[in-house]
A and B are shown apart, each in its own frame.
Chain A
């Protein structure tokens, strides 16, 4: 459903009814859900929350609630929707009006002028037909583009924050959730850098508005109130909650730039630390217990040194939150923590709804212990990713298949269970591609996309396959693997499940793996 005015067409329609909220399992959806929940609580709207993991789940949930549903709210990222007018147009009326006008003209005028009118009418008709053909051609092109590539639009959480702002019910909590939604898109590489920067600028306006609301010399806020601040902080994952050394080793930006899977890379890291004058003992300590004198200028010092080592973008614009005396988190920390909770494989039950609720809870301020457990899980996940990347590169299991690179994780790889989940596998894919591009000498391979497969379900014998576009500075993150996977599956009649909302992630039977790959190679070359 296309909506022009979100307040009138959406919120007021929904306000007096019972709502079913179907939420996709990614962090942006979770944040948007939190914002909507807060809005519903304000206005005492009853709602039912249903987490869905794919199209099948969506249809089952829909069928279950079918009797009561009039309007569905599904939250996940926009997938690049073109404008309304380009696709639909009511032109039947126009045609009829013209037609009847012509007849009356023909009837009333004398025969001398009739021919001219006829010609005029014919010309107009030809014009119209040409315009219509052009319009149809453009429509086909737009729809083809829409369905061929898959990419993400504005974060859903940000859109719901705009709704809250229009209703003047926006709070700092909602602003923080929309920031987390935006950062999730950046961490999981769903939007290009330019879009991220412009969205940050939009959010920054809201942040300064909230901060000026009641910050005064005399009336300073209680320390318990949430303070959001703009930070131009380092691109080191979770470094405030870890030690600096561990964070540098396990963040993909630094690990790939230094090539930490090689011995030379390790030496370079030591040089880097020595260059900044940071003693190893300090750097390996928990960040919060590091010497204050070192922490003061840390960001500038690191930026200077990293410029020398070829890491130009070590700093990134982001936001941080402070509440209470001890708690300060960056937006990316929360994204990693929530993603780790959402896809945790710790317990045996593995109920996805359970994980969903846990991840949802961790986003509230009052559930700090849940958030901290999420941060621990995220640390383990990052370490696992780094080790897997190192072993993949060192054992050369990434093969160039012609039009793309391919990698398969064997069953015996440590932590392979972690990579049966889509978000974790996508992160691994991204890091692996970057590491590969850094370590290979083959110029052609640097421009290839990567497809990765990992075992998903032992009993059913399926693997999960993910495809990501090639690594480039100015990529617009458009992913064509969705259609490619579908066509390859059709042509080889492999048993696949295109269930995930992200069409570039599918499930495939392990036996059909090789013929599926062959079909893909022929398709894409």
Chain B
């Protein structure tokens, strides 16, 4: 999966906006949206929020988890625990990037939030690498990791699966009596 595909899936998440135009309820395939009244907040998917923001038709309100104190707590928790703690949101990385790129003037303390989210991401990915490393070293058959987000899984997916494939090929060639001299597709 491409990271841009993951971002595309993240755009389905809902976020609160305050429009400055009025429109009746609209009926889309994915669900109903609206009605839009100027000055009243309404829940819309991120793709629509960003489009309206770029056309200067709305103001985006930061999601609840995008707050400096909450993120600081989560970061501390993440650093203490060995296992993965629940992520701020299943798409926290993508939403942070999208919202801070297009609507940073609507989000207070945007720079600090960016730093905090990056810290959380670094910690989690480091744990993921450690766990993948120990999985391979101890040659386990299966493992279970809770609370991973799609973006993190996507980061390690290709590498982990390819390396497991290679290891399998190497191992199967080491076995005596195995098919002789087959080196696979190198």
Indicate whether A and B interact: yes
User: Interface residues, chain A, CB within 8 Å of chain B?
Assistant: 41-44, 168-169, 171, 214, 218-225
Choose one: B56, B100, B105, B108; the contact of A169 (CB below 8 Å). B56
Residues in B67-126 with C-beta less than 8 Å from chain A: 100, 104-105, 107-111
Q: How far is the CB of A148 from chain B (nearest CB, A)?
A: 44
Q: In the complex, are the beta carbons of B104 and A219 less than 8 A apart?
A: no
B25 at the binding interface (Cβ < 8 Å): no
Closest partner residue, chain A, to B111 (CB atom): A222
Q: A42-B55, A42-B56 are in contact. Are A214 and B109 (CB under 8 A)?
A: no
* A222–B109 alpha-carbon span in the complex (Å): 6
Please, which residues of chain B bring their CB within 8 A of the CB of A171? 56
Q: How far is the CB of A460 from chain B (nearest CB, A)?
A: 47
Q: How far is the CB of A379 from chain B (nearest CB, A)?
A: 33
* A168–B57 alpha-carbon span in the complex (Å): 10
Given contacts A43-B55, A220-B108, 15 further A-B contacts (CB under 8 A): A41-B55, A42-B56, A169-B56, A219-B108, A221-B104, A222-B100, A222-B104, A222-B105, A222-B107, A222-B110, A222-B111, A223-B111, A224-B104, A224-B110, A225-B105
* A225–B109 alpha-carbon span in the complex (Å): 12
Q: In the complex, are the beta carbons of B56 and A221 less than 8 A apart?
A: no
Please, which residues of chain B bring their CB within 8 A of the CB of A223? 111
29 of the cross-chain contacts (CB-CB < 8 Å) are A41-B54, A41-B55, A42-B54, A42-B55, A42-B56, A42-B57, A43-B55, A44-B55, A168-B20, A169-B56, A214-B105, A218-B108, A219-B108, A219-B109, A220-B108, A220-B109, A221-B105, A221-B110, A222-B100, A222-B104, A222-B105, A222-B107, A222-B110, A222-B111, A223-B111, A224-B104, A224-B110, A225-B104, A225-B105
Q: How far is the CB of B100 from chain A (nearest CB, A)?
A: 7
Q: How far is the CB of B48 from chain A (nearest CB, A)?
A: 15
Q: How far is the CB of B130 from chain A (nearest CB, A)?
A: 33
* A219–B109 alpha-carbon span in the complex (Å): 6
Closest 7 CB pairs of A and B: A222-B110, A219-B108, A222-B104, A42-B55, A169-B56, A222-B111, A225-B105
Closest partner residue, chain B, to A221 (CB atom): B105
Please, which residues of chain B bring their CB within 8 A of the CB of A224? 104, 110-111
- Give 1 or 0 for each of B16-45: 1 = CB within 8 Å of chain A CB: 000010000000000000000000000000
Please, which residues of chain B bring their CB within 8 A of the CB of A169? 56
Q: How far is the CB of A320 from chain B (nearest CB, A)?
A: 19
* A223–B111 alpha-carbon span in the complex (Å): 7
Q: How far is the CB of B171 from chain A (nearest CB, A)?
A: 50
Please, which residues of chain A bring their CB within 8 A of the CB of B105? 214, 221-222, 225
Q: How far is the CB of B13 from chain A (nearest CB, A)?
A: 22
* A442–B83 alpha-carbon span in the complex (Å): 89
* A43–B55 alpha-carbon span in the complex (Å): 7
Please, which residues of chain B bring their CB within 8 A of the CB of A222? 100, 104-105, 107, 110-111
Q: How far is the CB of B37 from chain A (nearest CB, A)?
A: 16
Q: How far is the CB of B29 from chain A (nearest CB, A)?
A: 21
Please, which residues of chain B bring their CB within 8 A of the CB of A218? 108
* A44–B107 alpha-carbon span in the complex (Å): 26
Please, which residues of chain A bring their CB within 8 A of the CB of B104? 221-222, 224-225
Q: How far is the CB of B8 from chain A (nearest CB, A)?
A: 22
Please, which residues of chain A bring their CB within 8 A of the CB of B56? 42, 169, 171
* A168–B20 alpha-carbon span in the complex (Å): 10
* A171–B57 alpha-carbon span in the complex (Å): 12
* A219–B106 alpha-carbon span in the complex (Å): 10
Closest partner residue, chain B, to A216 (CB atom): B108
* A41–B53 alpha-carbon span in the complex (Å): 12
* A458–B74 alpha-carbon span in the complex (Å): 71
Most buried by A among B54, B56, B100, B109: B56
Q: How far is the CB of A243 from chain B (nearest CB, A)?
A: 32
Closest partner residue, chain B, to A171 (CB atom): B56
Residues in B50-71 with C-beta less than 8 Å from chain A: 54-57
Closest partner residue, chain B, to A214 (CB atom): B105
* A214–B107 alpha-carbon span in the complex (Å): 10
Closest partner residue, chain B, to A164 (CB atom): B56
* A214–B104 alpha-carbon span in the complex (Å): 11
Closest partner residue, chain B, to A169 (CB atom): B56
Q: How far is the CB of B69 from chain A (nearest CB, A)?
A: 12
Please, which residues of chain B bring their CB within 8 A of the CB of A220? 108-109
Please, which residues of chain B bring their CB within 8 A of the CB of A214? 105
* A324–B100 alpha-carbon span in the complex (Å): 14
Please, which residues of chain B bring their CB within 8 A of the CB of A41? 54-55
Q: How far is the CB of A36 from chain B (nearest CB, A)?
A: 15
Q: How far is the CB of A215 from chain B (nearest CB, A)?
A: 11
Q: How far is the CB of A306 from chain B (nearest CB, A)?
A: 39
* A43–B21 alpha-carbon span in the complex (Å): 13
* A168–B108 alpha-carbon span in the complex (Å): 23
* A223–B105 alpha-carbon span in the complex (Å): 10
Closest partner residue, chain B, to A218 (CB atom): B108
Most buried by B among A168, A221, A222: A222
* A41–B57 alpha-carbon span in the complex (Å): 12
Please, which residues of chain A bring their CB within 8 A of the CB of B20? 168
Closest partner residue, chain B, to A42 (CB atom): B55
Please, which residues of chain B bring their CB within 8 A of the CB of A219? 108-109
Q: How far is the CB of A173 from chain B (nearest CB, A)?
A: 11
* A169–B20 alpha-carbon span in the complex (Å): 11
